[in-house]
Amino acid sequence: MSSPNVKYYNAAIDSAQSGDLPAALKAIEAALVEDPNDVQSWQLYAVVLNALGETEKAEKAIVKIKELGISEVDELVMKAADAIGQSKFSLAITHYEDALELEPERSELYVSYALALMHGDYPADAEEAVNKAVNLTPGDASAWYAQGRILRLRGKKIEALTSLKKALELQENLVLARYECGMTLAELGELPAALKCFEEVLADHPEDENAITAKAVILEKMKELES
């Protein structure tokens, strides 16, 4: 991928993971303008279209992907992403497991697999999978973010904060890690630090409803403590 294309692709991933599908669509369309032959961008484009209910356009995108060429593993990843979009987490987990049998050293597969396991209510397995991702690529901010999120959801907040801070050291503009860091700090009672995190999220994404709500809740709690 070219540098601009990576920027748009990552923005699309961030938006998709935060639930802002229209923003994800806009970003991935920009990525395809930059590089119309990038298979990964077309894959994400198809997933976002399916999630938005644009099945006819998604089918055309899949045809394009097949024209460009797609590996068996990447096809399994696409199937897993589609399953997640339909909340079929057990099916997604199966697809990721099949993909990992073929390519057991791909860190990003473990990240996606771990998050699917967490959604599927397999928290211990999710933590094991995400630890594998971090061990494989300790310089990958996304792996540290996923580890932090899973640890927070498992109630291991101090460990989660360490992982999230590491993610932000590696990629300062990783919005999801910044948001998750704010959530963790709020749960630990560190309200001013949490507020700063959400304000930084909103500086980049002023219309992020989750961050807007979180900021309002924290301000209300701080007001109550002052009174």
- CA 57 vs CA 8, 80, 173: distances in Å: 20, 19, 31
Model-level pTM?
0.77
Listed residue (221, 170, 166) closest to 192, CA to CA: 221
Whether 113 is covered by a domain: the verdict is no
Whether 13 is covered by a domain: the verdict is yes
pLDDT at 5: 58
The residue range of the domain holding 53 is 1-70
For residues 61-72, one letter each, b for 16 or more C-beta atoms within 10 angstroms of the residue's C-beta and e for the rest, the string is bbebbeeeebee
Dihedral of CA 97/100/104/108: which sign? negative
Q: Answer whether 189's CB lies under 8 Å from 222's CB.
A: no
pLDDT at 133: 94
pLDDT (tens, 9 = 90+) of the chain, 227 residues, equals 445 557 788 778 777 766 677 888 888 999 899 888 888 888 888 888 877 778 888 888 888 888 887 788 888 888 887 787 778 889 999 999 999 999 999 898 999 899 999 999 999 999 999 999 999 999 998 899 999 999 999 999 999 999 999 999 998 888 889 999 999 999 999 999 999 999 998 988 888 888 899 999 999 999 888 87
Whether 166 is covered by a domain: the verdict is no
First to last CA, the chain: 53
Cα(17)–Cα(219) distance, integer angstroms: 26
Cα(215)–Cα(197) distance, integer angstroms: 9
Q: Which amino acid appears at position 163 of this protein?
A: S
The contacts of residue 139 (CB under 8 Å, 6+ apart) are 170
Q: In CATH, what number is assigned to the domain containing residue 10?
A: 1.25.40.10
Whether 27 is covered by a domain: the verdict is yes
Cα(117)–Cα(93) distance, integer angstroms: 7
pLDDT at 4: 53
Cα(126)–Cα(117) distance, integer angstroms: 5
- CA 216 vs CA 168, 198, 212: distances in Å: 23, 10, 6
Burial of 87 (0-12, 13-18, 19+ CB in 10 A): exposed
pLDDT at 3: 54
Whether 170 is covered by a domain: the verdict is no
Tally of structural domains, the chain: 1
Average pLDDT, rounded, for the chain: 88
pLDDT at 198: 93
Whether 30 is covered by a domain: the verdict is yes
Cα(156)–Cα(194) distance, integer angstroms: 17
Strand, helix or coil for residue 14: helix
Look-up of token digits 């503009």: 173
Whether 24 is covered by a domain: the verdict is yes
Furthest CA-CA distance within the chain: 64
Whether 33 is covered by a domain: the verdict is yes
The model's pLDDT over 74-89, given as tens digits with 9 standing for 90+, comes to 888 888 877 877 788 8
